[in-house]
Structure 1
Amino acid sequence: MSGQGGTGPVVTVGTDSVPAPERLGWWSEMVDHEVMPVAVHSAHTAVFRGRAEAVELPHSQVTAFDFSPITAHRSPAHIRRQDPENYYLLLVRDSSVRLEQARGVACLQAGDMALFSTSHPLACEFLDHGRQTRLTLMRLPRPVPPLAGGQADRLLAEPLPPRAGSAALLGLYLAQLPQTARTCGPAELARLGAIGVDLAVTLLAARLGVQDTLPTETRNAALLARINAFIDHHLGDPELCPAAIAAHHHVSVRTLHLLFHSEPETVSARIRRRRLEHCHADLTDPRLRRRSISAIAARWGFLRPADFSRAFRAAYGVAPRELRQAALRSLPDARRVARSDK
Structure 2
Amino acid sequence: MFSTTQRAIETRPPLAQSPKLIRQYHFTNRHLPHALQYDAWRDMVQPIMELDAEPSAAGYAVEIKAWDLGRLALTRSTTPPATFHRDTLHIRSKGLDHWCFVAVKTGSVETTRPGRTNQIYPGTLFIKSLHSPLAGSKTETSGLCIFVPRDFCRERVGALDAADDTVLCSGLGRLLAAYLVDLDRQLRRMTEDEIPSILAATHAMIDACIAPTPDRLADASAPINATLLERARELVQTNLLSPTLGVDEICRTLGISRSRLYRLFEDLGGVVHYIRSRRLLDAHRVLSAGTDNRPIVNIAAERDFLDPADFSRAFKREFGYSPREVRLGLRPPSQPQANNTEPVGTFADLLYRLH
Q: TM-score range by the shorter chain?
A: 0.5 to 0.7
From the superposition, tell whether residues 156 and 206 of structure 1 become closer, same or farther in structure 2 (CA, over 3 Å). Answer: closer
Residue 107 of structure 1, CA deviation = 0.6
Counterpart in the other structure of 1:80: 92
Change (3 A) 1:88 1:46: same
Q: 1:145/1:83 Cα in 2 relative to 1: closer, same or farther (>3 Å)?
A: same
The alpha-carbon distance between structure 1 residues 157 and 206, as it changes in their structure 2 partners (threshold 3 A), is: closer
Contact 1:101–1:156 (Cα < 8 Å) also in 2: no
Q: Give 1:15 shift.
A: 1.1
- Partners of 1:145 and 1:201 within 8 A in 2: no
**Shift of residue 139, structure 1, vs aligned partner:** 0.8
Task: Check the 8 A contact 1:102/1:121 in 2, yes or no.
Answer: no
Q: What pairs with 1:1-342 in structure 2 (closer than 5 Å)?
A: 3-5=11-13, 7=15, 8-9=21-22, 10-33=24-47, 36-41=48-53, 44=56, 46-101=58-113, 103-127=115-139, 132-143=140-151, 144-145=153-154, 147-148=156-157, 150-162=158-170, 164-165=171-172, 167-205=173-211
Q: 1:37 to 1:147 in 2, by over 3 A?
A: farther
Cα deviation digits, residues 169-215 of structure 1 (max 9, x gap): 321221132331111111223312321232123212365769xxxxx
- C-alpha contact (below 8 Å) 1:115/1:158 kept by paired residues: yes
The 3 A distance-change label for structure 1 pair 80 and 125 is same
TM-score by length of 2: 0.51
Question: What residue ranges of structure 1 are gaps of 5+ in the alignment?
Answer: 211-342
Q: Structure 1 residues 168 and 87, CA, compared in 2 at 3 Å: closer, same or farther?
A: same
For residues 32-89 of structure 1, the C-alpha deviation after alignment (integer angstroms, 9 at most, x for no partner) is 24xx242331574632111111111132111011011111111221112112111101
Greater gyration radius? 1
Contact conserved, 2:123 with 2:174, CA < 8 A, in 1? no
Q: Distance in 1 between matches of 2:206 and 2:160?
A: 12
Structure 1 residues 191 and 122, CA gap change in structure 2 (3 angstroms): same
C-alpha distance in 1, partners of 2:132/2:12? 31
1:102-137 Cα offsets, whole Å, 9 max, x none, are 65421111111111111111112103xxxx311211
CA RMSD of aligned residues (A): 2.6
Distance change >3 Å, CA 20–CA 182, structure 1 → 2: same
CA distance in 2, matches of 1:179, 1:151: 29
* Structure 2: segments with no counterpart, 5+ residues: 1-6, 16-20, 219-355
CA distance in 2, matches of 1:155, 1:102: 16
Change (3 A) 1:202 1:110: same
Q: Distance in 1 between matches of 2:14 and 2:63?
A: 12
**Helix, strand or coil at the partner of 1:114:** strand
Q: Which amino acid is the alignment partner of residue 197 of structure 2? A: R
Equivalent residue letter for 1:109 = Y
Correspondence for 2:260: none
Q: 2:127 is aligned with what amino acid?
A: L
- Residue aligned with 1:205, SS: coil
| Residue pair 2:124, 2:174 contacting (<8 A) in 1 also | no
Identity among equivalent positions (%) equals 19
Distance change in 2, residues 1:102/1:188 (3 Å): farther
Choose between structure 1 and 2 for higher RCO, CA contacts under 8 A separated by at least 6 residues.
Answer: 2
For the structure 1 residues 124 and 6, does the alpha-carbon distance in structure 2 shift closer, same or farther, using more than 3 Å as the test?
farther
The answer to whether the 8 Å contact 1:38/1:72 transfers is: yes
d(CA) in 1 for partners of 2:113, 2:205: 23
Aligned residues: 201
Question: Amino acid of the residue matched to residue 184 of structure 2?
Answer: P
Residues 62 and 103 from structure 1, CA distance in 2 versus in 1: closer, same or farther, beyond 3 angstroms?
farther
Do the aligned partners of residues 209 and 53 (structure 1) sit closer, same or farther apart at CA in structure 2, a change above 3 Å counting? farther
